[in-house]
Structure 1
Amino acid sequence: MKAEVKWLGGRAFEGTPDSGHSVIMDSSPAFGGEDRGVRPMELLLLGMGGCTSIDVMNILEKSRQDVSGCVAEISADRADEDPKVFVRIHVHFKVTGRNVEAKRVERAIELSAEKYCSASIMLGKTAEITHDFEIIESD
């Protein structure tokens, strides 16, 4: 895997990985940025959220759960001192569907966290990562 990060001026950068899908990153105005894109640390959380969500949906589909929606709400705390790494991350999954089994959702989250989600496992080296979920019955 390769990526390129190109300076756009100020504190803004455009990141482009092998896939070709670019993302703009910038710092906040308090740190000299112009708020032109996501913060790099926000991008880490989004990456982890995407990684684990993809896993959970794959596992639920393979276990034949009738899922019509999945939202991962992520909250995180960072260290007070530099480097301000993530120290706590919590992921709350909202899974919508018909007759979705709680034990299947719990197992999907567990498998993602412990075996499949590279981003979660990597961030778990510095942060305590917790999960919970709710199931929303659809019509």
Structure 2
Amino acid sequence: MASTNRVTTKWLGDMAFESNNPSGLKFKIDASPEDGGKGEGLRPKALMLSSLAGCSGLDVASLIRKMKLDVSGFHIETNAELSDAHPQTYTKVSLEFHFFGKNLNRAKLEKAVSLSAEKYCGVMAMFREFAQMGVICHFHEE
């Protein structure tokens, strides 16, 4: 049987919602003041980008541990272009991985990112259905 995820999203009034997660945690979604909200929550399309970066980041963090790589930290900058026509959708998305450390093994880190992008990250596989995807690695020696 295929696994499933279930979330419940509750309207809080105005343009605000509260959504849960299978982890049991909750978060707020709200529109910007320009769009009638109070700007007190996360934006839905940006959440998609956070999900993409989070999915790939979890893969890479796991691979860093498995490969026993010396990395003091990393972050992911996700940039996305929206279509002009409505409904606006992402057409081009890039993830830029920034790795920090003293003895970065660039080849193995690039391999970890590649494995996530091509094999493990289900969110990236879904994004490929509607957007051109790109991944770049940056290395910052400390």
Consecutive unaligned residues in structure 2, runs of 5 or more = none
Aligned length: 138
Q: Aligned residue for 1:72? A: 76
- Of 89, 100, 111, the match for 2:93: 89
Distance 1:129 1:60 in 2: 23
Superposed CA offset, 1:1-59 (max 9, x none): 21000001101100002211111001112221111111000111011111111111111
**Are the aligned partners of 1:95 and 1:134 in contact in 2 as well (CA < 8 Å)?**
yes
Q: Secondary structure at the match of 1:91?
A: strand
Distance 2:136 2:22 in 1: 33
Q: Aligned residue for 2:134? A: 130
**Are the aligned partners of 1:61 and 1:67 in contact in 2 as well (CA < 8 Å)?**
no
Q: Aligned residue for 2:34? A: 30
**Aligned residues with identical type, % of pairs:** 34
- Of 53, 62, 65, the match for 1:61: 65
Q: Aligned residue for 1:121? A: 125
Q: Aligned residue for 2:55? A: 51
Q: By how many angstroms is 1:80 displaced? A: 0.8
Consecutive unaligned residues in structure 1, runs of 5 or more = none
Give the aligned CA root-mean-square deviation in angstroms.
1.0
Q: By how many angstroms is 1:109 displaced? A: 1.0
Q: TM-score, normalised by structure 2?
A: 0.92
Q: Aligned residue for 1:12? A: 16
Q: Aligned residue for 1:42? A: 46
For the pair 1:111 / 2:115, whether they are aligned, the reply is yes
Q: By how many angstroms is 1:83 displaced? A: 2.0
